[in-house]
Amino acid sequence: MAVNAEYSKCVKLLRAYIDLMKLRVVELLIITTLPAMVLAEKGLPSFGLVAATLIGGTLAAGSSNAFNMVIEAETDKLMARTSKRPLVIGSVTRIQAIVFASLIGILSLVIFQLFTTTLAMLLTALAIFYYVVIYTIILKPNTSQNIVWGGAAGCMPVLIGWAAVTGSLTWVPVAFFFVIFFWTPPHFWALAIKYKEDYSAAGIPMLPSVASQSNVISQMWFHTIAMVVASAAMIQLAGLPVWAFCATVLLGALFTFQLFALKENSDNYNKVAAGIFHWSITYLSLFSVLLVAAQLLSA
């Protein structure tokens, strides 16, 4: 019985550390890193390089997310969506979380330095710093445009993936960066609409909790159109086939079509927003698959 109890305790602790990393969020970063590597290589990079980059990227993102939970432990208590996080329910202590976040962050940088390039390692360090300090500490509690500028941290994996292959950057990964930069606000605001009361309770000025519905909708339109333009520009800069450009425009049209149903003061406002959130993930996933397919088929 004592052995079973100890085993159960270890499993719960392991699960708590995994929860600190927010791996479901990390999935989206991986989805964009691999296409950037394929475009940089103009084909399939070596398995070892891909593995090192994805493992290093996962650890870096997990470190950032863990530090985020340490910093926001008190506000997480005030939000129903985050009230079950490890630090809130006491699955891990603050010190344990800090040590864990630090160790996996350092490990990620070591992996990038040893198995990829110095530029990829430096960009990874910048991404961790930006997410933890610039976004979590400075932007998120102080401006309704937090996710706009703070979202730049989530765009870094495409630069890191490219740099891991080439050790340099070109306009192609920069364009990919802006695709995700403009994709992030409508993606996140669509989710924040559902949880706007949570953000209000925690005193976090997320746009849907502090601005009118018309303001939110107009800003979602602006960023969505900019995302479609950036996506099309990236296809051109990467020299991908015409059919890839046409498919990109079609994907963008499908995304913008979702926004037409988002009308202020409508009875299904929250439901439509939830649909946009899920479609945004589909968009990014399909766009990433499209990039890989177009590059491999045209190589």
pLDDT in tens, 230-249: 999 999 999 999 999 999 99
> Tell me, what's the pLDDT at 150?
92
Half-sphere exposure of 127 (CA within 13 A, CB side): 33
Going by C-beta distance under 8 Å and a sequence separation of 6 or more, which residues neighbour residue 142?
205
Q: Which residue ranges form the domains of the chain, and what is each CATH number? A: 22-298 (1.10.357.140)
| Token representation of residue 130 | 């930006």
* pTM, entire model: 0.94
For residue 2, the model assigns a pLDDT of 60
CB neighbours of residue 39 within 10 Å: 26
Q: Is 94 exposed, middle or buried (0-12, 13-18, 19+ CB in 10 A)?
A: exposed
If pLDDT is split at 50, 70 and 90, which confidence band does 1 have? Answer: low
pLDDT of residue 266: 87
Residue 185 has pLDDT above 80, yes or no: yes
pLDDT band at 99 (very low <50, low <70, confident <90, very high): very high
Indicate the pLDDT class of residue 297, thresholds 50, 70 and 90: very high
Sign of CA dihedral 72, 141, 202, 268: negative
SS3 27: helix
At 29, the pLDDT band (50, 70, 90 cuts) reads confident
d(CA 41, CA 162): 8
